């Protein structure tokens, strides 16, 4: 602005005050993790709390728990979120924390009925989830702009779990392309790729391109609280880095 007096604005402390009051995405995530951690202690069940770049990942460590609303993703788009974004993130986390105990009690009731009944109920819920993804009522855990039809067209939801060979192929490809990461592979065939907090978008695109080229389905995230005891892990190119980026430089090339 032509008539903007920058020195006067600074002397009044307005810019400094605004900077001091800014809450970072990392702080919002930490508060959500604390909220989820309190629930974890209350229920006595392990809940993985992951930082997936712009997403908070919540995943209860129970067999097929996502079918009982045991997973949640919360989007926090900016490094310095607005008050509206912060309120929305906290509200979403609180809603999940308040409602999951009821879903967990239902989960336990099905487990008590035996393996056959539990598996039948799990398959019914899975079918409903996939069916609802094409209708007006989308399954509650999806991200706002997630394109289920496109995802299904690529075969990702329908694909069987990855194999150990897939895990080893991915490891070799990441080392060949100098991708710094940690890779987890669990007994259900899931592969988690950890890239470090605030990893650049360009790195994520490169990882996605490699995985798609190999036909391997992965989940990318910054970190996870603890891997399952049944998983195997490896690091590539020195392991995940602590990415330090200035505000507004999310598109820097890796």
Give Cβ neighbours of residue 98 (< 8 Å, ≥ 6 apart): none
User: Distances from the Cα of 83 to the Cαs of 21, 75, 87, 144, 146, in angstroms?
Assistant: 11, 14, 6, 19, 24
Say which residue the tokens 């039809």 belong to. 149
Cα angle for residues 47, 50, 53 (degrees, 5° grid):
165
For residue 144, what pLDDT is reported?
A: 45
Helix or strand (DSSP H, E) at 49? strand 47-52
Local structure of 210: helix, strand or coil: helix
Length of the chain: 254
- Give me the residue label for tokens 């190119």: 237
The span from the CA of 215 to the CA of 194, in Å, is 19
- For residue 223, the 8-state DSSP code is B
HSE-CB at 206 with a 13 A cutoff on CA atoms is 19
pLDDT of res. 51: 79
Mind listing the pLDDT tens digit for each residue in 220-254? 887 765 555 567 899 999 998 877 644 334 444 55
- Residue 27's nearest CA partner among 86, 104, 111 is 86
DSSP H/E element including 220: strand 219-221
From the list 55, 12, 14, the residue with the least C-alpha distance to 224 is: 55
Distance CA 53, CA 78 (A): 10
What pLDDT was estimated at residue 95? 93
Calpha distance 41→132 (Å, rounded)? 33
**Domain ranges, ordered by start, for the chain:** 25-113, 159-236
Predicted pLDDT at 108: 93
Q: HSE-up of 66 (CA within 13 Å, CB side)? A: 16
Task: Report the pLDDT value the prediction gives residue 110, as an integer from 0 to 100.
Answer: 93
Q: What is the distance, to the nearest Å, from the Cα of residue 34 to the centroid of all Cα atoms in its chain? A: 16
What is this structure's pTM?
0.48
For the purposes of burial, counting CB atoms within 10 Å of the CB of 195, is it exposed (0-12), middle (13-18) or buried (19 or more)? Answer: buried
Q: What is the DSSP letter of 116?
A: H
Q: Cα separation of 204 and 251, whole Å?
A: 11
- For residue range 27-60, list pLDDT tens digits in order: 999 999 999 999 999 999 888 888 767 788 888 8
Q: What is the pLDDT along the chain (254 residues), one digit of tens a residue?
A: 445 454 555 555 544 444 445 788 889 999 999 999 999 999 998 888 887 677 888 888 888 888 898 888 888 888 888 888 899 999 999 999 999 999 999 999 999 999 999 989 988 988 887 665 444 343 344 444 444 444 444 444 434 568 888 899 999 999 988 999 999 888 778 888 988 877 787 888 889 888 888 888 888 887 765 555 567 899 999 998 877 644 334 444 55
- Euclidean distance between CA atoms 63 and 65, whole angstroms: 5
| Three-state secondary-structure class, residue 47 | strand
């Amino acid at each position: 602005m032509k008539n903007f007096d920058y020195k006067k604005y600074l002397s009044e402390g307005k810019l400094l005050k605004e900077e001091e009051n800014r809450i970072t995405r990392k702080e919002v995530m930490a508060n959500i993790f604390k909220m989820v951690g309190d629930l974890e202690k209350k229920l006595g069940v392990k809940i993985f709390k992951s930082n997936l770049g712009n997403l908070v990942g919540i995943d209860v460590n129970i067999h097929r728990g996502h079918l009982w609303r045991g997973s949640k993703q919360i989007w926090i788009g900016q490094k310095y979120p607005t008050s509206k974004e912060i309120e929305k993130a906290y509200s979403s986390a609180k809603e999940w924390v308040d409602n999951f105990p009821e879903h967990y009690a239902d989960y336990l009731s099905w487990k008590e009925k035996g393996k056959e009944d539990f598996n039948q109920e799990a398959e019914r819920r899975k079918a409903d989830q996939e069916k609802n993804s094409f209708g007006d009522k989308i399954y509650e855990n999806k991200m706002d702009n997630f394109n289920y039809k496109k995802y299904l067209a690529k075969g990702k939801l329908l694909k069987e779990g990855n194999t150990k060979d897939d895990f080893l192929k991915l490891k070799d490809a990441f080392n060949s392309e100098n991708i710094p990461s940690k890779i987890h592979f669990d007994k259900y065939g899931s592969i988690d790729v950890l890239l470090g907090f605030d990893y650049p978008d360009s790195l994520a695109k490169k990882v996605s391109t490699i995985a798609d080229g190999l036909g391997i389905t992965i989940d990318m995230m910054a970190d996870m609280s603890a891997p399952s005891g049944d998983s195997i892990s490896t690091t590539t190119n020195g392991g995940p880095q602590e990415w330090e980026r200035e505000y507004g430089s999310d598109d820097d090339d890796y």
